[in-house]
Structure 1
Amino acid sequence: MPQAVGVIQTLGFPPILAAADAMVKGGRVTLVYFDLAERSEFVVAIRGPISEVRPAVEAGLKAAESCHGGNVVSHYIVPNPPENVVAVLPIAYTAKVERFRS
């Protein structure tokens, strides 16, 4: 099944928490990455089937923007990322997140 990666970056922690919550509830996706980007910006990445990542990211964007003070800095969806991208960037299914895959 074709996989995709969805990423949302926000200013501040509450919007990224709201986005992550909405994304994992909005589709059969797995949260694979979270980190502090820069200047109080946070980033979260999910993976799953393309048909599940798109609505999950949309739900995450809506949740982040509706959060008090929510400011989405950036977002992007990568359908079918090549193996070399998955190998280099921190978006692989790791043992830590594998138990949460549906």
Structure 2
Amino acid sequence: MGRETLWLVVGFAGQLAFTGRFALQWLYSEYKKRSIIPVGFWYLSIVGSALLLAYAIYRQDPVFILGQSFGFVVYLRNLQLIARNKDKEQGE
């Protein structure tokens, strides 16, 4: 596999994970009959964002790099908040 093909695979994998999070959220909400964002949404967000950020860095696209960098921080923070709340719930 050539270098360009590898980076296309990384880019498409990131896009697939990023898109998959919306499908997960939609299906989970339909299952629960109310709008819910499951934890898996944030994990798919991190994976998709990291892969797309790597792809953007390789492509040297400053707009894409900035957008994915900001999103990555937000997704990571959401996972930290979820973990912190779980720890508090288990400690009670």
TM bin (shorter chain): 0.3 to 0.5
Which is helix-richer, 1 or 2? 2
Greater relative CO, 1 or 2 (CA 8 Å, sep 6+): 1
**Could you say which structure has the larger radius of gyration?**
2
Q: State the TM-score, normalizing by the size of structure 1.
A: 0.31
